[in-house]
Structure 1
């Protein structure tokens, strides 16, 4: 009652709704967005930004060349009022959208995946493990990088979630919509999520901190008859959102694609270095972020809660060998696998009996399952 009378609330759910001005980075973004979103004329439903986005979409969907787009823009200028602020060419339209878009990085990497040329190694011209050159000579005699990958930074994308009213209010959904015990409709209802909150109460105290899931797997983008090529994209998903939002395409962020015609295998950790560095920064250093729904600046943190992939990819990401006798990551050295006498391969047959009740009749069968074996585990 005292808190209600004097308006003093320390708990997040009760408000603390002191509005603040956006930080410098977010303020610049809002100013650019407002400038680009002004209507072409009074009463017009369209803006410069709308036209630029439509032009980029048409060029991408129909694979139109830049010269053809410039010709279309010239025709638009001839047909409409010259006073309308429409871009003179495709380059200016692209430049307007790029100011509002999210950054990307082109990181040089060694052909065989030994290392990335970033951070302290950005100026090296030779691989520090095998000594091979970073560049090769192109057809015109100039140096061309042997291999590179495009990395889409994670932090700006997470900050953008709180800069939009279409997503910022829902980033607290997991905290504001708790279910009774025994009901599960979101990852926050699982024991893993609750155990994490108990282990790191300082992280759980801020509901706007983000829980991430990582998904990666390889696929062949070409036909089976073409040359073999293994493409490995890496995706990240924020699980703060409601179930109907966190599994939609606009909230599944492509982080990078491993640039190799071959399976990266145990070298996948080399390509994950930029992501690991960002996750460390989000966990230790925190990032200043503006929440447009509450008009507040806060220190954003994030944690990688789990990975989602098939069993072979699980072995690559976790470092556990998923082949051979010790393939099971749960049994580990207590595995009950055995080697087939004639096939000389490992078999995990009869692994289901330990999960049966102790008085189940299958546990005493010596011939119907594994021969001369009674299960007491």
Structure 2
């Protein structure tokens, strides 16, 4: 990856990360010799003969830790996006042969469902796996299959007079769907709702209150 970025003519900066992936040694944390949350040492002795020699502990972003710790690694990107919008970057307009201060913002991203869960921080698997229904998601657990099932959850999105809502044969027997689609939150409502949660960069791996019941 380093070689690829350099071949594009872009700068490369190496940033150390905590062994559990819970924090970056960056900005005001760059000179810390202990982990911010657990207090453990950043280094460990290489051998008993020379205890002053130290080996850096490191972690690599992988599928096992990216989902819960995504905001740790996005911290760098968010910093750049904020600078791009509030400060801007000096650009050269070759057609007019003049320089200008360009400002830009990221409005949205397009992802598949697994990546959507990682980037949003709300898992799209297991219970509460719908980012639209959120805490009102209607799933059930298959005891034999040992997995969460969302069979028929789509029926609530049909119009109130849709025949599928009253169909007791083609779907779950004897059941009529009376639940209506959950009203989607506006951007302002969503912002106010997530404001009560702390960032991983502030509380490390601690689970938030009501995790698995109202949010994921």
TM-score normalised according to structure 2 size: 0.64
Match of 1:369 in 2: 171
Compute the displacement of 1:293 (Å): 2.8
1:332-366 CA deviation, whole Å, 9 max, x = no partner? 23333344576675422113334445554333211
Distance 2:87 2:168 in 1: 59
1:115 and 2:23 equivalent? yes
1:246-304 CA deviation, whole Å, 9 max, x = no partner? xxxxxxxxxxxx54584333112112211111111112222222222332222222222
**Structure (1/2) with the larger strand percentage:** 1
1:312 and 2:125 equivalent? no
Match of 2:37 in 1: 129
Q: What's the secondary structure of 2:69's corresponding residue? A: helix
Kept after mapping to 1: 8 A contact 2:140/2:149: yes
* Number of positions where the alignment pairs a residue of Structure 1 with one of Structure 2: 171
Q: What's the secondary structure of 2:14's corresponding residue? A: strand
Distance 1:109 1:315 in 2: 23
Compute the displacement of 1:101 (Å): 3.1
1:303 and 2:211 equivalent? no
**Structure (1/2) with the larger helix percentage:** 1
Distance 1:349 1:116 in 2: 41
Kept after mapping to 1: 8 A contact 2:21/2:61: no
Q: Which has the higher contact order (CA 8 A, sep 6+)?
A: 2
Stretches of structure 1 lacking an aligned partner (at least 5 in a row): 1-59, 61-97, 149-257
What aligned pairs does 1:314-329 form with structure 2 within 5 A after superposition?
314-329=116-131
Stretches of structure 2 lacking an aligned partner (at least 5 in a row): 181-216
Alignment partner of 2:155 out of 353, 358, 361: 353
Compute the displacement of 1:324 (Å): 3.7
Match of 1:146 in 2: 57
Change (3 A) 1:357 1:271: closer
Q: What's the secondary structure of 2:37's corresponding residue? A: coil
Distance 1:286 1:329 in 2: 33
Match of 1:47 in 2: none
Q: What's the secondary structure of 2:109's corresponding residue? A: strand
Q: RMSD value over aligned CA atoms?
A: 3.2
Distance 2:22 2:96 in 1: 46
Change (3 A) 1:341 1:107: closer
Change (3 A) 1:131 1:326: same
Match of 2:76 in 1: 274
1:291 and 2:93 equivalent? yes
What aligned pairs does 1:65-84 form with structure 2 within 5 A after superposition?
none
Change (3 A) 1:261 1:335: closer
Match of 1:330 in 2: 132
Distance 1:342 1:108 in 2: 44
